[in-house]
Amino acid sequence: MPETFPAEDRRNDMDAQKDIQGMPVPDEGFELDPGQDFTEDTAREEEKERRPTVIRTAFSFIKDSISAIFQGEFLMRLKFDRYFINIIYLFFLAVVCIWMKLKIEQTMVRLEDTKQMLEDYRIYHAQKTCELVKLDRLSTVQDMLEKSGSALTIPDKPADRIKR
């Protein structure tokens, strides 16, 4: 049998322990503290390694999704390419709905403005009607004629009728 060095004997013993216990064999020069278990350390290290990979995986997924959206490949990646016409149709309907809502709102604003103008015209009409009723009195007309310096006055006798 060839000569073996103490490090090789130790490695052979560790390989035998691995087969028996199912635990990984630490590298040469690795020593455990007496109160520390090897499986706890590896579990902690694996958990520490797994956390960043989950975060990295989520970040890379979000980054890939955003880049796919900007490149126009997002629907293809989700395999929605056969529904592309339906998606375009829904987008068109949404745009038409928004446009119609804006047109209806503009019409309602115009209607409110028209109602306000109509109310103003009613007030103006009422004021003019009131002024015309005041002018219908004979004394008011006579005062107006005197103020303007006209020679017209109220007739003294009724008008003559000419017979044919």
146 is a domain residue: yes
62 is a domain residue: no
- The predicted-structure confidence for 52-69, as pLDDT tens digits, reads as follows 677 888 888 899 889 988
Question: CA separation (Å) from 97 to 1, 6, 91?
Answer: 90, 84, 10
Q: What is the structure's pLDDT at 116?
A: 97
List the structure tokens of 59: 């970040």
118 is a domain residue: yes
41 is a domain residue: no
- The predicted-structure confidence for 85-95, as pLDDT tens digits, reads as follows 898 999 999 99
Can you tell me whether residue 16 is helix, strand or coil?
Answer: helix
Query: Could you tell me the pLDDT band of residue 126, with boundaries at 50, 70 and 90?
Result: very high
137 is a domain residue: yes
User: Which residue has better confidence, 88 or 37?
Assistant: 88
Residue 120 CA to residue 108 CA, distance in Å, equals: 19
The dihedral sign for the CA sequence 90, 95, 98, 104: negative
Can you tell me whether residue 13 is helix, strand or coil?
Answer: helix
92 is a domain residue: yes
54 is a domain residue: no
> In which region does residue 51 sit, left (phi positive, over 0), alpha (psi from -120 to 50) or beta (all else)?
alpha
| Domain assignment of residue 84, given as a range | 80-152
Can you tell me whether residue 109 is helix, strand or coil?
Answer: helix
How many domains, in total, are found in the chain? 1
Can you tell me whether residue 59 is helix, strand or coil?
Answer: helix
Q: What is the structure's pLDDT at 83?
A: 85
- pTM of the full predicted structure? 0.42
Q: What is the structure's pLDDT at 75?
A: 77
106 is a domain residue: yes
Residue 68 CA to residue 65 CA, distance in Å, equals: 5
